Structure 1
Amino acid sequence: MKYFKFLISIIFLGLVWSCGGDDDICESGEGTPRMRVMFKNSIGKTVTLDSLQVFVNYGSGKVDLGWKTNIDNVLIPVRVDDSPSTQLYFKTRKNSNESEVKVSYTTKSSYVSPGCGVKKNYENLSSELIISNPVLGVELGQNFIENEDKTNLYLLF
């Protein structure tokens, strides 16, 4: 019976010791980065918007990313499939028109870890304003998405 208790306690300690590795969770921003979008007024000064609703077309229709209030920037996930562009839609009021912006890019994949898998980086960004109300124009910031620190797109209101 002593050996049985000893064996059970060794197995239990081994299970506790082996659990909780950090390589199964992608915590430190190593995954595919999102695109940072900021807002400017007509004279080129960054502004804070009272409200903004963002939609993204990931290939199967628009996905509502929800309303944001009192924001000066928003992080938007772009498509991770092999599509060369992502359609973005913006509204500033519930019953108002929406603007459509097409962001085009080339992708480059790189392996990160077993937990995170493959990370996509976006290069050669370009943007085009398709429908212009309430967004009056677009301005490109950093033309690649490697992390979420730099602004990639400015919307002119």
Structure 2
Amino acid sequence: MICFIGILFSCGGEDDICESGEGTPRMKVTFKSFESGKETIIPVIYAAVDYGSGKVELGKLEKEGSWLIPIRVDDSPYTDLYFRIEEKGVESHVRVTYTTKTKYVSPGCGIKKSYENLSSELIQSNPVLKVETGQNQIENEDKTHLFLLF
């Protein structure tokens, strides 16, 4: 019985991995209409990200106005994003550049990376016609960091 109680109390909150959202945040991408400049819902959109070893498909999102996208956590100063509106269609290439800063969070979560001086460049247009930078630092997932205009 004493062993059971000891095991029960040895499981502490420090072993929980980033339960309170203290990990490295994702980038919030919001969609806008090119004509009106207002936020819009895209019927279907596909995304891929190059994390340094080739493109990784993130899948498909239907009838949404934004997407939370994980970006690179290595020491690269940029992340390449790819968007298309058809499964086998042409895709737009967007490069997001930034500087990074790291901070120790907890034993379970480890180090949190934050991104500053965010800027974006549309390398290949169609279907994305233009990009706009929103919040120029990624510390949390509440505010839009990148606007894609369709």
TM over 0.5: yes
Q: Any stretches of 5+ residues in structure 1 without a counterpart?
A: 1-8
Q: Which of 2, 16, 20 is equivalent to 1:10?
A: 2
- Runs of 4+ with deviation above 6 angstroms: none
Q: Which of 8, 23, 28 is equivalent to 2:14?
A: 23
Measure how far apart 1:96 and its partner are: 1.4
Partners of 2:147 and 2:110 in 1: how far apart? 30
In structure 1, the residue corresponding to 2:3 is in which secondary structure? helix
Measure how far apart 1:60 and its partner are: 0.2
Q: Any stretches of 5+ residues in structure 2 without a counterpart?
A: none
Q: Which of 20, 41, 53 is equivalent to 1:48?
A: 41
Q: Is residue 143 from structure 1 mapped to residue 141 from structure 2 by the alignment?
A: no
Partners of 2:89 and 2:37 in 1: how far apart? 24
In structure 2, the residue matched to 1:125 is 118
Q: Which of 8, 25, 39 is equivalent to 1:33?
A: 25
Number of residues paired by the alignment? 148
Measure how far apart 1:17 and its partner are: 2.2
In structure 1, the residue matched to 2:82 is 89
Aligned-residue sequence identity (percent) comes to: 61
Q: Which has the higher helix share?
A: 1
In structure 2, the residue corresponding to 1:144 is in which secondary structure? coil
Larger Rg: 1
Whichever residue aligns with residue 90 of structure 2, its letter is N
Q: Is residue 62 from structure 1 mapped to residue 38 from structure 2 by the alignment?
A: no
Q: Which of 101, 104, 122 is equivalent to 1:111?
A: 104
Partners of 1:155 and 1:30 in 2: how far apart? 27
Q: Which of 67, 70, 92 is equivalent to 1:74?
A: 67
Measure how far apart 1:132 and its partner are: 0.2
Partners of 1:95 and 1:66 in 2: how far apart? 12
Partners of 2:9 and 2:103 in 1: how far apart? 31
